């Protein structure tokens, strides 16, 4: 093999390793992000009369937090300058704080247990993907990704059925929503990185852990578009 072939093989391996590092670091940051929201939600639920719980319980505060989160996600999605250090870390910390406050306040009010279920599934799927990319030398296949998501969601489902009083039909709905959301979050970002649709020289996993929520939203929009087209075929 000539020197040009060796260089090509080496660059391909280095590129793949860079992408695998990107994915594992992103899912670690995403898991920590959701875990913090779950921890804060548990604290707020255990202390319903504290000042923080009362403050975050106001609808106006939740609205402001939601708007700020959306603006940060859009900034990360459309402005490449925020992906540079140390701006990317400032963006991530700020978004994680807002995300934990917003979702934590919703968890404190959630009596159905569905939001808890969905977030537990998302966190464990993110950590499961992190562990996979931590030891794997190749990308996970779509089938493997689906099996991982359903396996994790199934374990969480069994846990909730055994230790909570949430009605089974509600958990079934939460199971479908959690699996769909986890798939959109993981598949969209993984396929973009794997197919080199992003220039990793300009990308970073830190803001990727923020932009990934926009990918999930786009996934649900695509489902809505498919349903709309499907119903449109039957219109007279």
Q: What is residue 84's DSSP assignment?
A: S
Q: Per-residue pLDDT for the chain (236 aa), expressed as one digit of tens each?
A: 444 344 333 446 666 677 778 888 889 999 999 999 999 999 999 888 888 888 888 889 989 999 999 999 998 888 888 888 889 999 999 999 999 999 999 998 888 889 999 999 999 999 999 998 888 777 777 788 889 999 999 999 999 999 888 888 989 999 998 998 888 888 766 655 555 444 444 567 888 889 888 877 776 565 544 444 444 444 44
* Predicted TM-score of the model (pTM): 0.82
User: How far apart, in Å, are the Cα atoms of 204 and each of 22, 25, 84, 197, 207?
Assistant: 7, 9, 8, 14, 6
Complete DSSP assignment for 191-203: HHHHTT-S-TTT-
CA 86 to chain centroid, in Å, comes to 22
Inter-axis angle of helices 205-232 and 3-46, nearest 10: 80
Report the C-alpha gap between 70 and 150 in whole angstroms: 29
3-state secondary structure of 234: coil
């Amino acid at each position: 093999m000539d020197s040009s072939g060796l260089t090509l093989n080496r660059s391909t391996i280095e590129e793949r390793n860079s992408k695998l590092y990107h994915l594992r670091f992103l899912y670690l940051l995403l898991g920590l992000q959701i875990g913090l929201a779950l921890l804060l939600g548990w604290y707020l639920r255990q202390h319903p009369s504290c000042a923080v719980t009362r403050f975050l319980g106001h609808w106006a505060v939740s609205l402001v937090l939601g708007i700020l989160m959306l603006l940060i996600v859009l900034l990360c999605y459309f402005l490449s300058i925020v992906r540079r250090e140390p701006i990317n870390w400032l963006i991530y910390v700020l978004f994680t704080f807002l995300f934990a406050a917003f979702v934590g306040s919703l968890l404190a009010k959630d009596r159905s247990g569905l939001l808890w279920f969905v977030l537990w599934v998302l966190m464990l799927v993110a950590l499961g993907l992190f562990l996979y990319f931590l030891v794997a030398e190749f990308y996970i296949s779509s089938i493997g990704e689906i099996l991982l998501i359903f396996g994790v969601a199934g374990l969480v489902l069994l846990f909730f059925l055994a230790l909570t009083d949430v009605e089974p039909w509600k958990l079934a709905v939460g199971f479908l929503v959690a699996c769909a959301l986890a798939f959109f979050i993981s598949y969209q970002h993984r396929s973009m990185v794997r197919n080199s649709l992003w220039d990793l020289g300009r990308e970073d996993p830190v803001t990727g852990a923020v932009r990934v929520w926009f990918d999930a939203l786009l996934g649900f929009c695509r489902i809505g578009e498919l349903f709309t087209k499907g119903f449109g075929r039957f219109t007279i």
